[in-house]
Structure 1
């Protein structure tokens, strides 16, 4: 039935294409340096900016992007929301801040937050398929670049900025946003920041799906019923009704930067970023190993109960400091090197996992990253680039299952486009060298190469056909290689966020992706539609395999390799229907579907379900309103040892009013109604779906003053 609905939506959009205007409206891309507009590339790109970004911006990057076709949110309670692109997450999805990696440890574990603040973004660009070659062959899933102008790229005359406050009643979340920019002559500055605090998230019904949790334990190789009664008493898995316990938190983000402009488009700039957050992990989400529980049997009951209660209150306190330098120069050697860009970034990241008042595990990461691009403009664009990254990672504490590891990565790439009649072609290549040196002494190095090609053909002034192919190669990550390596059975450490023992393999090979995209894009004066089919065949795909063994009743998983295939379809559109009551009435139809299968290990786990949605909006010069519905199917192919997830239908709506003042000052008031029907929503992409559903019905309201 859902497939029929998706086909009907695509058919309706095809009819609308023939009737709508044909003038292109394009976004100027930043992340693809050899192109100026999205229409000039066949590479799959999703852009959030302007009013759309302002409406969708949320407290996490995953929630901000999670309803866009091909992108999902993998939440771990309200404090964490990581993007999933075409079913790929972790090290296969790279999060960038102003073209440089975020420098956090979000890819290491699903309970680790991404160190990027979406509320400060001016644009978010998502690259999928071959376009990721510009930022790393390992970004097999995709690249997300959040751009916030902390280093002003243009001269600014006078002072401009914005102040915003918003309140969301589901988590009782207060958010404040400040942005101030200015300049005089050749100097420009930028100051921005956010503060946020939130209480426990309100939800419909019980937080923990106890039936699903029991089923999950059975699938994982579960515990004997008698032992379950001893190990998991009611206090340890105490359920909450109407809210998610210990899901409160706060965050503070601060940016300051400046730039000196010494030519028409030339500048050098510096910036400093501070990112701090403290958030709770919902009860039952973390497993702390059974060794301590067995030891606890020797203590008095009261003392043991106190220890268990204290262990159950888990919080993460995260602090990150980042320093950026950028240099942009033009007309270096006109006709040969028209633009030269250089980036240099240092990031100092640390977070501690607090168990009550005790520090359980401390993670730290220092990264040094540099990037240089030499661009040739004109009829045939080209970019030659070099990228370097140094990484010092350590984890100390009772849950530190990955050894201290130093990594060095070098990458060189070249991308060129050229024209032949109406066709536009693009081809590129990348060579990467990765060296990982753990404290255990088993150094591993990998050399990989990636290739991409694309073709874009304009069928007519409004309709274009795009084809892109790529071969990408990814070196294994630190945790895939070295988790619990050289630990005896008694020393094996449980990964608390997943509740299993993960064992790495230093003999893993690189992972190779062969990806193809076929897209049909139509764009009119006020309307657009895009339909994309993709197929991604991965050789030596790295994943965790359940060995069937247990240590202290904790399942043991090992990193293994198997071939896997991912394929799916994405559709997004917006059609200008009519002029009504002085405003424009528009209808958007969107949807996506993805399937992932191993050659010998069944379905790929934690994939998003098929989704179909629609949005009806009306907007005049000062007033706007919308109503939106998203229907997600059951995820009944959850993968081995995973529980199924029920589908849902989510309704959202909103209204905003823009008041103009003299001198260019604007006041925007907005009201959002989210999950209007109070639907219980558990995301199949989330490790925490059986412990913490998404927010229930809520109202979000705010004011934004722009000057």
Structure 2
């Protein structure tokens, strides 16, 4: 009987790292082999009339490979293993392909990882995620950008790295950047639904978590790592970065570096002056494994210099330059407990120092910000607790010392908050229930300000908040499921929303807070469903989110005569956000897939007038052709005109933008080379992002050739 030898490599689908010592078994015989320390394997099979073999590894889902005919056998194959479904301390099912309807729906999560993450990679976390369903990007140039989920931004969207909050000012103003570079992350999780309350009291928002695995018990068998580069033509943007992992017994050292630079962005109608940036990122961590857990510590320095373009009324002609710096210390302890009901506990602690300086075009300092920030959390994993199957409970605290200088008169303020949270789930077979509850206490202690600030304006504030979220999923058949999610959402006002007073030149505004604000309060209702057939899936979400007190800064229509800047006042108002989202995936053949998503949000105040900064209806459709290690695709993004605008907000026209992408993986004995080449806005279309504050100056970037290279070893 004819025999064929199949050679291949086994990779982790979340990060393309080799999986050593996996078992590869030929189904028709008892023969088997194991992958070597670099993930390579070789096995003999009987190809006619077909062959089948299976791949196993502890901690991964088993994979079956089948070739129907001898001429279809590929002698060199890449096999991706998916981590087995598990609940982490934060109850996010992530880093895997979901293999059941429950996993598809009840986690409300999206995950970018592996080659998909490389293809979508942008210069910021927001530009990387902007094409995900329900997400859009708020921006004020390339560097100061932040994700928006269903029209909600700011503190309603929590950004984390390895479960630790990223400390910066990006949630408070459009000109502030996120202190996170996405290039070296293994995956990015976007989570909505009841599990959001583990991290935030804002149940209708979401959580973005960039996973680096800096402190981990998942050790490679030998020295491994990543080297990579990124280049794009629209701004001559370039990046070089690397990660090195060195195991030694029960210890693992992880070291990371990255440098990014870019010049001004080119658009179809001109150059966006003062939009360049320079970034430096350096970190080191040490993990230690012991018999029933692991622990570790990490330190990271992050610095970013970037420009905010000028050209608005009251702004300097050449814009404003911003310098950010953050030093972060994190520590983690995870212990497996000798208890069936309480299997593990995880402690997280962090200390951050953050500074930001905004300089005017003449070199004078317009604003200075300094933050000392301390956080901690203790999470207890739970199994079969009372009525429920599994979940978690935890406590967290946060201490923030926030000082402002320059020509901004917001007082030096100390804020504290503490939270108790509880999340549980129950599987009834055809039904699946999730429930979460969070209580938050917060207080603010502003110190007396100086200069022209009215001291009678300064008052201490404290808040007691509670939020809940309940989700119920009903599996009608093995192909159709429906669900509902109900929530009560609250949010502490920020220091800036309470106490701001003064010009913010980089944001082109004179900002005034409101110390009498009450906590943000709203409710959420969502209906969702999914249809899954062989080679076809369709999902639909409808949401209805009324707010009794929606905290928002609004252009008052007045100018501050000393600075000629428009006055933005922080207010609380009744508001309503409604919308619809859908996704369609269709496999035309074994190699061709069509995917399409629709997202629409409508926001309005109680009098029917539009909320500001609401994205228009968007459709993103892509066609992918994949064979062996090669992928070729086309992506089109369509947006309708947004004419529902707040007072003094500029409407935007509809648009259609088209992109082409290709990817290739080259596997050698010790290395994996991944290459991605994207051509964005291939027809050099002039269009404007409605959530961009600079849309009144210039459109979005023109045609852009983007090259991404990653070397895994």
Shorter-chain TM-score above 0.5: yes
In 1: Cα distance, 2:711 partner to 2:647 partner: 51
The range that moved more, 552-561 or 523-532, is 523-532
1:453 corresponds to 2:470: yes
Pair 1:389 & 2:406 matched: no
1:164 aligned residue (225, 228, 231):
228
Correspondence for 2:426: 418
Structure 1: distance between partners of 2:380 and 2:89: 13
Question: Per-residue deviation at 1:596?
Answer: 0.4
The C-alpha deviation readout for 1:219-263, integer Å capped at 9, x for no partner, is: xxxxxxxxxxxxxxxxxxxxxxx2111111211111211110002
Whether the 8 Å contact between 1:74 and 1:81 is mirrored in structure 2 is: yes
Query: Quick check: 1:251 aligned with 2:290?
Result: no
Residue pair 1:652, 1:676 contacting (<8 A) in 2 also: yes
Q: Does the 8 Å contact 2:677/2:705 carry over to 1? A: yes
Cα distance 1:692–1:79, how it changes in 2: closer, same or farther (>3 A)?
A: farther
State the alpha-carbon separation in 1 of the partners of residues 263 and 580 from structure 2: 38
Aligned to 2:54: none
- Deviation sequence 1:288-307 (CA, Å, 0-9, x none): 5xxxxxxxxxxxxxxxxxxx
2:86 & 2:371 partners in 1: Cα distance? 30
The answer to whether structure 1 residue 666 and structure 2 residue 672 are counterparts is yes
Pick one of 667, 691, 697 that aligns with 1:691: 697
User: Following TM superposition, by how much is the alpha carbon of 1:618 offset from its aligned partner in structure 2, in angstroms?
Assistant: 0.8
2:540 maps to 1:512: no
Distance 1:419 1:671, change over 3 A: closer
Task: Give the Cα–Cα distance (whole angstroms) in 1 for the partners of residues 175 and 377 of structure 2.
Answer: 29
**CA contact 2:89–2:392 (8 Å) conserved in 1:** no
Question: Using a 3 Å threshold, how does the CA distance of structure 1 residues 551 and 199 change in structure 2: closer, same or farther?
Answer: closer
State yes or no: 1:325 paired with 2:382.
no
Aligned-pair distance for 1:58?
1.2
The aligned runs of 1:170-189 (5 Å cut-off) are: 170-189=234-253
| Structure 2 partner of 1:68 | 132
User: Displacement, 1:360?
Assistant: 2.3
Aligned residue for 1:564? 575
Could you tell me how far 1:559 is from its partner in structure 2?
1.9
Match of 1:91 in 2: 155
Displacement of 1:43: 4.3
Residues 120, 269 of structure 1: CA spacing in aligned structure 2 closer, same or farther, 3 A cutoff?
same
Q: Equivalent residue for 2:46?
A: none
Counterpart residue number, 2:90 = 33
1:107 counterpart residue number:
171
The answer to whether the Cα contact below 8 Å between 1:617 and 1:627 also exists between their aligned partners in 2 is yes
Q: Map of 1:466-477 to 2, 5 A cutoff? A: 466-477=483-494
Q: How does 1:11-22 map to 2 (within 5 A)?
A: none
CA contact (8 A) 1:430 1:449 kept: yes
Partner residue in 2 for 1:353: 358
Aligned match of 1:487: none
For the 8 Å contact 1:370–1:387, the answer to whether it is kept is yes
Is the contact made by 2:204 and 2:545 (CA closer than 8 Å) also made in structure 1? no
Question: Residues 621-632 of structure 1 correspond to what in structure 2 (within 5 A)?
Answer: 621-632=628-639
Gap change, CA 1:415 and 1:286, over 3 Å in 2: farther
CA-based RMSD of the aligned residues comes to 2.2
Per the alignment, in what secondary structure is the counterpart of residue 194 of structure 2?
A: helix
Are the equivalent residues in 1 in contact too, given 2:473–2:484 (CA < 8 A)? yes
Asked if the contact 2:314/2:565 (under 8 Å) is kept, the reply is no
Q: Answer yes or no: is the 8 Å Cα contact 1:197–1:249 preserved in 2.
A: yes
**Deviation, structure 1 residue 577:** 1.3
Shift of residue 313, structure 1, vs aligned partner: 4.4
SS at match of 1:120: coil
Secondary structure of 1:55's partner?
helix
CA deviation map 1:298-331 (0-9, x unaligned): xxxxxxxxxx66xx3421111111111011111x
Per the alignment, residue 306 of structure 2 pairs with 279
Q: By percentage of residues, which structure has more helix? A: 1
* Closer, same or farther: CA 255–86 of 1 in aligned 2, 3 Å: same
- Is 1:128 paired with 2:135? no
CA contact (8 A) 1:137 1:432 kept: yes
TM-score after normalising by structure 2: 0.82
SS at match of 2:115: helix
Render the CA deviation track for 1:7-26: whole Å, top value 9, x for unaligned: xxxxxxxxxxxxxxxxx989
d(CA) in 2 for partners of 1:192, 1:247: 26
| Shift in alpha-carbon separation, 1:346–1:524, aligned structure 2, 3 A | farther
Residues 146 and 73 (structure 1), Cα distance of their counterparts in 2 relative to 1, 3 Å cut = same
For 1:641, the equivalent position in structure 2 comes to 648
Over 6 Å off, 4+ runs: 24-27, 29-32
Which residue of structure 2 lines up, in the alignment, with residue 594 of structure 1?
Answer: 601
Distance in 2 (CA, whole Å) between partners of 1:408 and 1:117 is 28
Distance in 2, matches of 1:34 and 1:549, equals 47
Partner Cα separation in structure 2 for residue 261 and residue 286 of structure 1: 58
Secondary structure, aligned partner of 1:154: coil
Q: Please state whether the residue corresponding to 2:498 is helix, strand or coil.
A: helix
The reply on whether 1:263 has 2:291 as its aligned counterpart is: yes
Q: Give the distance between the partners of 1:135 and 1:590, measured in 2 at CA.
A: 27
CA distance in 2, matches of 1:705, 1:557: 48
1:501 corresponding residue in structure 2? 510
Cα distance in 1 for partners of 2:136, 2:538 equals 20
Cα pair distance change 1:197/1:366, threshold 3 Å: same
Q: Deviations over 1:205-225 (max 9, x none)?
A: 1xxxxxxxxxxxxxxxxxxxx
Q: TM-score, normalised by structure 1?
A: 0.83
**2:624 corresponding residue in structure 1:** 617
> Are residues 281 and 32 of structure 1, via their aligned partners in 2, closer, same or farther at CA, if it must alter by over 3 Å?
same
Describe the SS at the equivalent of 2:223.
strand
Question: Which structure has more RCO (C-alpha within 8 Å, separation ≥ 6)?
Answer: 1
The CA distance in 2 between the partners of 1:282 and 1:274, in whole Å, is: 26
Alpha-carbon displacement from aligned partner over 1:179-219 (angstroms, at most 9, x marks no partner): 111312211121122211111111101xxxxxxxxxxxxxx
Confirm or deny: 8 A CA contact 2:343 2:382 kept in the other structure. yes
Q: CA deviation at 1:86?
A: 0.7
* Contact 1:465-1:520 within 8 A present in 2 as well: yes
The within-5 A match list for 1:670-685 is: 670-685=676-691
| Aligned equivalent of 1:208 | none
Query: C-alpha distance in 2, partners of 1:359/1:494?
Result: 12
1:211 alignment partner in structure 2: none
Q: State the partner residue of 1:544.
A: 553
Structure 1 residue 101: deviation in Å?
Answer: 1.2
Give the superposition deviation at 1:82: 0.7
Structure 1, unaligned stretches of length 5 or more? 1-23, 206-241, 289-307, 485-492
Q: What CA distance in whole angstroms lies between the structure 1 residues aligned with 2:263 and 2:93?
A: 43
Distance change in 2, residues 1:276/1:527 (3 Å): farther
Asked if structure 2 preserves the Cα contact closer than 8 Å seen for 1:152 and 1:189, the reply is no
Deviation at 1:604, TM superposition (A): 0.5
In structure 1, C-alpha distance between the alignment counterparts of 2:231 and 2:198, rounded to whole Å: 39
Which stretches in structure 2 are left out of the alignment for 5+ residues?
A: 1-80, 449-457
- Which residue of 1 is the match for residue 110 of structure 2? 46
Distance 1:109 1:401 in 2: 16
Distance in 2, Cα, partners of 1:28 & 1:96? 22
Q: 1:269 to 1:685 in 2, by over 3 A?
A: same
Identify the residue that residue 42 of structure 2 maps to in structure 1. Answer: none
Number of aligned residue pairs = 611
